[in-house]
C-alpha cells in the first residue's frame, strides 16, 4: 500500500491511499495504535464514532479477527460524534450502523457503548443527557478530550452534524447540541466544534470521487468556515489527520509521494 503525504499550509497531516481498501486498513492501524497508546497512558481509550456511509468499511474491518484481537474491548468507551434523531433501530441511525457492523461482533461490555438515547425525550433533552454522560465518563476535564474522534465530510463540507450557515457552528458553551437542519428538514444531534477540537486525535475518513472538489476547497481554498464547516476542525493541541483515498484526493496539489 503506497501512501502520499501532503505538505502544505492547511491544518493537519493528509495521507492519500491508493485505494479505498488501503484507506480502511490504514484507518484500522491508526485506530489500534491510538487505542494502545491511550491504554498505556490512561488505562483505557475513548472514541467518538462517525456516521454516514464511509466508516462502514472501517467498522467491518475492525470486527475481523486480525483487528478485533488487537483491542481489549472492555477498555474502550464508545460514543458517537453525531446522531440522527431517530430510534436506534432505524436504518439511518449511526448507532445502528456501528452496532451491526462492529459492536455486535466484538466483546465490548454494554455499559461501554454510549449511544444517544433518542427515545428518551426531546432532541434537546437527549443532547443535554448525552453531554452529561460524556462528562461523567471523561471526568475532571473542563472540555473532555476523546482519544480519537472520527469524522466524515459531506459534499457541502458539513462534518458531524454541523452544516453550513447553521447557528450550531457558533455554539461556544455546550458540548453537545440538537438543532433542526434546514437542508435535511430533520433534527440532528451533534458534538459542537469546541468538543471536536479538544480530541487528542481527529481522523477524517474521506473516500470517493464525489468528495474531491469539496476536499480541495476545504483544504486549499479560502477560509470560509461558515460555508465550509469542516474548516472549523482545528484541534487545540491534538493531532488532525485527513485520510483520503486517491479518488477523493485527486484534486489536491503538491503531492509528495512517500513510498
Ligand atoms: C452523519 C455523519 C456525517 C457524515 C458525512 C459524510 O451522521 O451523516 O456524521 O457527518 O460523516 O455526511 O457521509 P458519507 O460518509 O456517507 O459520505
What tens digit of pLDDT does each residue of 172-204 get?
Answer: 999 999 999 999 999 999 999 999 999 999 999
List, for residues 13-63, the tens digit of each pLDDT value: 999 999 999 999 999 999 999 999 999 999 999 999 999 999 999 999 999
pLDDT given at position 252: 86
Q: 259 C-alpha vs ligand 1 centroid, how far in Å?
A: 30
List, for residues 105-161, the tens digit of each pLDDT value: 999 999 999 999 999 999 999 999 999 999 999 998 999 999 999 999 999 999 999
Query: Is the pLDDT assigned to residue 219 strictly greater than 80?
Result: yes
Query: Is the pLDDT assigned to residue 75 strictly greater than 80?
Result: yes
pTM score, whole prediction? 0.95
pLDDT given at position 140: 87
Nearest CA to ligand 1 atom 11: 152
What does the alpha-carbon distance between residue 170 and residue 148 come to, in Å, rounded to a whole number? 23
Percentages helix, strand, coil for the chain (3-state, rounded to 5) are 35, 20, 45
- How far are the Cα atoms of 63, 205, 217 from residue 28, in angstroms, in the given order? 10, 11, 27
Q: 154 C-alpha vs ligand 1 centroid, how far in Å?
A: 6
Which atom in ligand 1 lies closest to the alpha carbon of residue 159? 10
Query: Is the pLDDT assigned to residue 165 strictly greater than 60?
Result: yes
Instruction: Tell whether ligand 1 has an atom less than 6 A from the beta carbon of residue 171.
Output: no
Instruction: Tell whether ligand 1 has an atom less than 6 A from the beta carbon of residue 94.
Output: yes
Which atom in ligand 1 lies closest to the alpha carbon of residue 161? 10
Is-contact 198 145, C-beta < 8 A?
yes
What does the alpha-carbon distance between residue 16 and residue 26 come to, in Å, rounded to a whole number? 10
Which of 153, 157, 191, 193 should be mutated for ligand 1, with most atoms under 8 A from CB?
153
Q: 206 C-alpha vs ligand 1 centroid, how far in Å?
A: 10
Helices (H), the chain: 20-42, 56-62, 65-68, 94-101, 123-137, 193-196, 212-220
Instruction: Tell whether ligand 1 has an atom less than 6 A from the beta carbon of residue 53.
Output: yes
Which of 52, 162, 247 should be mutated for ligand 1, with most atoms under 8 A from CB?
52
Q: 31 C-alpha vs ligand 1 centroid, how far in Å?
A: 19
Do you know the residue count of the chain? 259
Nearest CA to ligand 1 atom 7: 51
A 10 A CB-CB count for 122 gives 11
Which atom in ligand 1 lies closest to the alpha carbon of residue 160? 10
Q: 179 C-alpha vs ligand 1 centroid, how far in Å?
A: 16
pLDDT given at position 258: 42
Amino acid at each position: 500500500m503506497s501512501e502520499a503525504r501532503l505538505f502544505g499550509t492547511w491544518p493537519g497531516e493528509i495521507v492519500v491511499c491508493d485505494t479505498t481498501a488501503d484507506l480502511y486498513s490504514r484507518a484500522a492501524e491508526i485506530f489500534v495504535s491510538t487505542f494502545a497508546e491511550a491504554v498505556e497512558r490512561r488505562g483505557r481509550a475513548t472514541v467518538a464514532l462517525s456516521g454516514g456511509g464511509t466508516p462502514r468499511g472501517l467498522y467491518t474491518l475492525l470486527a475481523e479477527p486480525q483487528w478485533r484481537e488487537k483491542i481489549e474491548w472492555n477498555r474502550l468507551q464508545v460514543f458517537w460524534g453525531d446522531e440522527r434523531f431517530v430510534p436506534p433501530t432505524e436504518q439511518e441511525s449511526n448507532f445502528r450502523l456501528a452496532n451491526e457492523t462492529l459492536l455486535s461482533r466484538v466483546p465490548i461490555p454494554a455499559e461501554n457503548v454510549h449511544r444517544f438515547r433518542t427515545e428518551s425525550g426531546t432532541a434537546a433533552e437527549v443532547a443535554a443527557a448525552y453531554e452529561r454522560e460524556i462528562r461523567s465518563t471523561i471526568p475532571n476535564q473542563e472540555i473532555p478530550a476523546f482519544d480519537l474522534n472520527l469524522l466524515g465530510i459531506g459534499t457541502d463540507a458539513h462534518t458531524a452534524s454541523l452544516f453550513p450557515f447553521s447557528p450550531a457552528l457558533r455554539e461556544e458553551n455546550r458540548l453537545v447540541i440538537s438543532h433542526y437542519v434546514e437542508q435535511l428538514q430533520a433534527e440532528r444531534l451533534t458534538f459542537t466544534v469546541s468538543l471536536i477540537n479538544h480530541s487528542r486525535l481527529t481522523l477524517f475518513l474521506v473516500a470517493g470521487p464525489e468528495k474531491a472538489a469539496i476536499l480541495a476547497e476545504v483544504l486549499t481554498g479560502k477560509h470560509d468556515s461558515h460555508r465550509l464547516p469542516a474548516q472549523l476542525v482545528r484541534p487545540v493541541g491534538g493531532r488532525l489527520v485527513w485520510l483520503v483515498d486517491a479518488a477523493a484526493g485527486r484534486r489536491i496539489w503538491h503531492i509528495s509521494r512517500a513510498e
